[in-house]
Amino acid sequence: MLVAVLTGLALAGALARRTNRWDGRDTWPVAITCAALAAWTGVRAAAQGTPSAALPTIATLACIVAAIVVLRRADDKERELCALAAVAVGVSVAVSGWIGVVWRAEPSALPGDERLWRATSTLTYANAAAAMLAPLALLTIASLIARPGAYTRQVAAFLLLLGPGRRSAEAVCSH
């Protein structure tokens, strides 16, 4: 929850610095959809008697809208910088997850089926780490097309593909 709030504040600050008015570049359909989903989540949580349970989802939806608005207003250089920052966060998640697997350190890794340890990293469960790392790996590979000789991007792509690739290799080899 704290990460979502801090991310939202950072994105709101970047947006406020950029401009103080909305224009046609803003993505109203996404904002309206996220607002409707946030309202539905809040109503559902209130109906179940736990209105505070909706706060993490609402904060996440607000961060999605803020990120889209900020990136739509950014120029190419600023977008590339944001992409590199996201890849750096992904690499730190991948490395901390693999450290957890190698040293069997919970909660960075958790034992799974058949004595297999799964990297969870700083996230709460293994699938969250994979869901974060796979798209970031694709983003890094796409950035390699623009700069094929970028050694740091090659290393980042390798580290980001290492986690999800390991699970796929085990599934193929077990058949």
Cα dihedral sign for 74, 86, 122, 39?
A: positive
Q: Is the pTM of this model over 0.85?
A: no
Domain definitions of the chain by residue range: 1-74, 75-175
pLDDT in tens, 11-39: 566 655 555 555 555 567 888 888 999 99
pLDDT in tens, 51-75: 999 998 998 898 888 888 888 878 8
Half-sphere exposure of 127 (CA within 13 A, CB side): 0
Long-range contacts made by residues 86-89, C-beta under 8 angstroms, separation at least 24? 86/136, 86/139, 87/136, 87/139, 87/140, 87/143, 87/153, 87/156, 87/160, 88/156
Half-sphere exposure of 129 (CA within 13 A, CB side): 31
